[in-house]
Amino acid sequence: MNHQTNKYQPLAGLVVAITGSGQGIGRAMALRLSGEGAKLAIVDINQTAAIAVSQALLATGAEAIAVSADVTSKADCERMVSAVVESYGRIDMMICNAGIIQVKPFLDICEDDWDSVFAVNTKGVFLTTQAAARQMRTQIALEPGRPKGKIVTLSSIAGRYGAGPMAPVIPHYRASKAAVISITQSAAYTFAPDITVNAICPGLVDTDMWKLIDQQWGALENWEAGQAWKQRVNAVPLGRPQTVDDVAGLAAFLASKDSDYMTGQSINIEGGLTMS
The residues that are catalytic are 173
* Cis, bond preceding 193 (omega within 30 deg of 0): yes
SS3 assignment for 47-85: HHHHHHHHHHHHHCCCCEEEEECCCCCHHHHHHHHHHHH
Rounded Cα gap, residues 141 and 195, in angstroms: 10
Rounded Cα gap, residues 208 and 110, in angstroms: 24
What residues contact residue 107 under an 8 Å CB cut-off, 6+ apart?
A: none
Would you list the DSSP string of 210-249? HHHHHHHHHHHHTPPTTHHHHHHHTT-TTSSPBPHHHHHH
Pairing of the two strands 266-269 and 15-19? unpaired
CA 115 from centroid of its chain's CA atoms: 20
What residues contact residue 144 under an 8 Å CB cut-off, 6+ apart?
A: none
Query: Side chain identity at 78, as an amino acid letter?
Result: E
3-state secondary structure of 114: helix
Rounded Cα gap, residues 232 and 91, in angstroms: 38
DSSP state of 12: T
Is residue 63 within 8 Å of 42, Cβ to Cβ? no
